[in-house]
Amino acid sequence: MEANVQNFLIKPYNDEVVFREITKAMANPWRSGHFEEEAPFWRTMGYERGQLHERLAHGRKSAEAAPSVLLAWSEAQGTVELLEEIAALLANAEAAGARGIVEALGAVEAARKAEQWSLIPRLMEPLKFGARLIEHRLEPTIVCEGFLTEAEVATEAKEKAYAEWIDAPREGRCPVMKREHLEQQVDALPGCPVIDSAAASFQMTANGHPSCINPLMDLVARDPGLSVQMLIAANQAHSNRDDDWGIEDAKLAVGQLGEKRLAAQGRGLITISKSVMDVPPGFNWSEYWIFQRGVARIAQEICR
C-alpha cells in the first residue's frame, strides 16, 4: 500500500475476487488518483460543476507554462518574483484538485528549499505529464501522448488504416488505391504473404529436423499462401529443367526443395495477420480460405 498500489490480494483467493478487483480498477483507472473526486470536491470548495472544469482548464494552461518559468527560476536561483509565480501555479493546481500537479510542484519546492537548483530541470516532465492528465480528464475521448503502449499505438494506427478501406464505399472514396499502384506493390513483394498462424506451424515443423516431410507436404497443400510460396521457391531452384511445364503440385514442390531449403523458406516467409481479412459483416480468413480451396480444387479437376 505504501507503494501506492490500488489493492492487493492474499493467497488463497478465488476467481470472483480477482475479477471484482479488475472491475474496480477499470471503473476507477489510475489517472483518477491524480485528481480529487469531483462531486465532493466542488461541493466542498463551493463551486458549480462547470466552474471546477474551468479551474482544471486554467490549471492545465498553468502546468503547460510552468516549465519555462521554472527553468528561468532555477537559472536565476530563486528570485522573489518567480517564487511568487510558482506560488500562483501551486494555488491554481490546488484549487482545481489536480493532485498530480500539486505533487510535482511540491517536489520543485523541496528542491528550492534545499537549494538544489540543478534538480529543477529534471522535474519538468511530471508537470508536462500532469498537463496531459488534465487534458484527458476534461475530454476523456482524447488519448494523450504517453498514455498508450507501443502495442496500443500500433493497434490504433492499424484500426485507422482499416477504417480508411472499410468506410470507402459508403463514403464514395473508391477506388482507394489505383490498380497500377497496387500492382507495383505486389510486384515488389519478395514472396507470397502467408497468414501468421500457418507460417508459425510451417516454421516449427521445418526447423524441427523432421524425419519425414509428409507433415510439411500436408501443411503446405492445405494453405494457399504456403502453396504459392513453395511452388515459387521450387521452380526458382529448378529453373534449368528440360520440360516447359515446371512444378505445379505443392506437395511435389516440398519434396523437391529438401530439408535445408525448407528451413530457409520458413525463416524468410512474409507473414500477415488473420485480422486483415476481417471484413464485416461476415467475411474473414476462414471464409477466404474455403473460397481459395474451392477454386483450387475446381482448377485441378479442369486440368485433369
Q: What is the pLDDT of residues 20-29, one digit of tens each?
A: 888 877 766 6
| Structural domain spans, the chain | 34-138, 150-176, 189-303
Extract the runs of DSSP E, i.e. beta strands, from 157-199: 194-195
**Cβ atoms of residues 74 and 142 within 8 Å:** no
In the chain, which residues have pLDDT < 50? none
β-partners of residue 35 are: 98
Separation between Cα atoms, residue 228 and residue 234, nearest integer Å: 10
List CB contacts of 59: < 8 A, sequence separation 6 or more: 92, 93, 95, 96, 98, 101, 134
Separation between Cα atoms, residue 66 and residue 244, nearest integer Å: 76
**Residue type, position 233, single letter:** A
**Cβ atoms of residues 232 and 157 within 8 Å:** no
Separation between Cα atoms, residue 198 and residue 137, nearest integer Å: 44
Residue entry with cell 507554462: 65
pLDDT in tens, 80-112: 556 677 777 778 777 778 777 788 878 877 877
pLDDT of residue 79: 57
Separation between Cα atoms, residue 208 and residue 216, nearest integer Å: 11
Residue entry with cell 494552461: 61
pTM above 0.75, yes or no: no
C-alpha angle 115-120-124 in degrees, rounded to nearest 5: 160
pLDDT of residue 257: 86
C-alpha angle 224-228-233 in degrees, rounded to nearest 5: 150
Question: Which one, of 229, 177, 157, lies nearest residue 198 by Cα?
Answer: 229
Separation between Cα atoms, residue 197 and residue 202, nearest integer Å: 9
Separation between Cα atoms, residue 210 and residue 213, nearest integer Å: 6
Separation between Cα atoms, residue 294 and residue 251, nearest integer Å: 18
List CB contacts of 56: < 8 A, sequence separation 6 or more: 96, 97, 98, 134, 137, 138
